[in-house]
């Protein structure tokens, strides 16, 4: 059982990465879709009780944002895995501007998330941490971060 947390700004490619790598095996928990934290808590509780792997597809920009999931998942026996989806602000803005209507995030909000983004740390309770990048050819690259000095290994 896996509890996967995506960490990254709007427009970084998190939802596309979910569709490519996890849609067949993990339930997607996403505030854009669920609209309220209450609904999110209900779906999270259902996944934990059913022992169903899930992905939290939100920005999870701050360590404090991630604490609403990690202790619950660990207490239920889940492996907790972080995928830090990295991008430049310019690339995130470009992809965001390609979104239709209400899916487009206001530029100041996206920039604010970019500025406050905190990288995942082992001390938060992660069993694994990965760094994800998206090439201009729309190909995802995933590297495993080792505990020793935060080094990266290709996956």
* Residue 147: predicted pLDDT: 81
3-state secondary structure 110-147: HHHHHHHCCCCCHHHCCCEEEEEEECCCCCEEEEEECC
Residue span of the structural domain in which 144 resides: 2-154
* Residue 86: predicted pLDDT: 96
> Any idea how long the chain is?
155
Q: Phi/psi zone of residue 79: left (φ > 0), alpha (ψ -120 to 50 degrees), beta?
A: beta
- Residue 105's φ and ψ, nearest 5 degrees, are -90, 135
Share of the chain above pLDDT 90, in %: 88
pLDDT digit string, tens, across residues 57-100: 999 999 999 999 999 999 999 999 999 999 999 999 999 999 99
Q: Is pLDDT at 137 greater than 90 in this prediction?
A: no
Q: Is pLDDT at 150 greater than 70 in this prediction?
A: no
Q: Which two tokens stand for residue 133?
A: 């990048």
pLDDT digit string, tens, across residues 105-115: 999 999 999 99
């Amino acid at each position: 059982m896996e509890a996967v947390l995506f960490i990254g700004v709007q427009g970084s490619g998190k939802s596309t990465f979910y569709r490519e790598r996890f849609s067949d095996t993990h339930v997607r928990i996403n505030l854009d879709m669920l609209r309220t934290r209450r609904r999110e808590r209900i779906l999270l509780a259902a996944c934990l009780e059913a022992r169903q792997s899930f992905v939290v597809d939100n920005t999870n920009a701050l360590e404090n944002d991630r604490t609403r999931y990690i202790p619950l998942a660990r207490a239920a026996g889940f492996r907790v895995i972080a995928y830090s989806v990295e991008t430049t602000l310019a690339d995130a803005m470009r992809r965001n501007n390609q979104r239709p209507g209400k899916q487009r995030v206001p530029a100041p909000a996206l920039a604010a998330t970019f500025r406050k983004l905190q990288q995942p740390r082992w001390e938060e309770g992660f069993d694994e941490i990965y760094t994800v990048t998206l090439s201009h050819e729309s190909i995802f690259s995933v590297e495993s971060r080792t505990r020793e000095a935060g080094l990266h290994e290709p996956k």
